[in-house]
Structure 1
Amino acid sequence: MNTKYWPATFEERGVVVPFTTPMLAFARARSDGNGGLEIIVPGLSGGSGVYIIGWSGVREVFRMSVHDRAFHDMIETRKAATPRDMRRCAHEIAMTGLSGPDAIDAAEKAIEQEENERLLTNYYLVNSVVKTLAKADVKLSVVELSSAAGQKKVRGIMAGIASDLRVSSEQLYADIEKWSDLIAPVGIASMPHECRLRRLMSRLKAFRMNVTAWGKNSNADPDGLAFLVADVALLTLDVGRTLIGEIDDHANDLTAALANWGTVGKEISDGMTRISWLLDGWDHVIELWEDVLDGAMHEQRDALEEIVRMLPLVPTKELETNNGKAWGDLENAMRKFVKPLQNWQSGHTDIELQLRIERRRAEAMREQA
Structure 2
Amino acid sequence: MGRPANGETAPKTKRRGETPLLPATFLKRGTYLPFTTSVLSYARLRRPTGGSLEILIPGLAGGAETYVIPYKVLPEVINLTVHDRALHEELAHLREISPSRIRQTANRVAMTGLGGPALAKRAKQERLADEEQPAMILLSLLRMAIGQLAPNHPGAKDLTERTIATPEGMKLARDALGGYAQSIGERGDKIYARLESWANRIAPVGSPDGNVAGYLMTLLVALEGLAAELGKWLIQEPPETAEMAQRTVTAARGAAELARAHLKALDQMANNMAEPLRDFENTEKKLKHHVERMALMIDGWQRVIDMWNAARAGDRFLQRDTLEIFAQHLPIMPEEAVGGQVEMWETLRQSQTRWGRTSQHRIDSDLDQDTKDKLSQFRKEP
Tell me, yes or no, whether TM beats 0.5. Answer: yes
The answer to whether the aligner puts 1:103 opposite 2:119 as a matched pair is yes
Aligned partner of 2:353 among 329, 335, 345: 335
- Are 2:317 and 1:298 equivalent residues in the alignment? yes
Residue of structure 2 equivalent to 1:309:
328
Determine the structure 2 residue equivalent to 1:362. Answer: none
| Residue equivalent to 2:190 | 171
The verdict on how the C-alpha distance between 1:347 and 1:290 changes in structure 2, with shifts beyond 3 A counting, is farther
Q: Deviations over 1:333-361 (max 9, x none)?
A: 3321124432234479xxxxxxxxxxxxx
What is the DSSP-based 3-state SS (H/G/I as helix, E as strand, rest coil) of the residue aligned with 2:67?
A: strand
Letter in 1 for 2:205: V
Percent of matched pairs sharing the same residue: 27
Q: How does 1:144-293 map onto structure 2 within 5 Å?
A: 144-219=163-238, 221=240, 224-293=243-312
Change (3 A) 1:202 1:143: closer
Cα pair distance change 1:309/1:4, threshold 3 Å: farther
State the alpha-carbon separation in 2 of the partners of residues 328 and 98 from structure 1. 38
How far does residue 169 in structure 1 lie from its aligned partner after superposition?
2.6
Partner Cα separation in structure 2 for residue 196 and residue 222 of structure 1? 30
RMSD: 2.3
Matched residues, number: 345
User: Residue 142 of structure 2 contacts residue 195 of structure 2 at CA under 8 Å; is this kept in 1?
Assistant: yes
Superimposed CA distance per residue, residues 138-187 of structure 1 (whole angstroms, 9 cap, x where no aligned partner): 14455555554443333222221211233333432222111111111222
Question: How far 1:279 moved relative to its partner?
Answer: 1.3
Post-superposition shift, 1:223?
6.8
Q: Give the conservation status (yes or no) of the 8 Å contact 1:186–1:195.
A: yes
TM-score, normalised to structure 2's length? 0.83
- Structure number with the bigger relative contact order (C-alpha 8 A, sep ≥ 6) is 2
- 1:115 maps to 2:138: no
Structure 2 unmatched runs, 5+: 1-18, 372-382
Q: How far off is 1:38 after superposition?
A: 0.7
- State the match for 2:34 in structure 1: 18
1:81, CA displacement in angstroms? Answer: 1.6
Which whole-Å CA distance do the structure 2 matches of 1:193 and 1:262 have between them? 25
Change (3 A) 1:32 1:5: farther
User: Which is worse superposed, 195-204 or 132-141?
Assistant: 132-141
Q: Which residue of 1 aligns with 2:342?
A: 324
Structure 1: gaps spanning 5 or more residues? 349-369
Indicate the SS of the match to 1:78. Answer: coil
CA contact (8 A) 2:29 2:46 kept: yes
After superposition, the C-alpha distances for 1:216-246 in whole angstroms (9 at most, x for unaligned) are 2123735711111111111112212211111
Per-residue CA deviations over 1:78-135 (Å, capped at 9, x if unaligned) read: 2452111101101110122212233322222111112222221111001111121114
Q: SS at the partner of 1:77?
A: coil
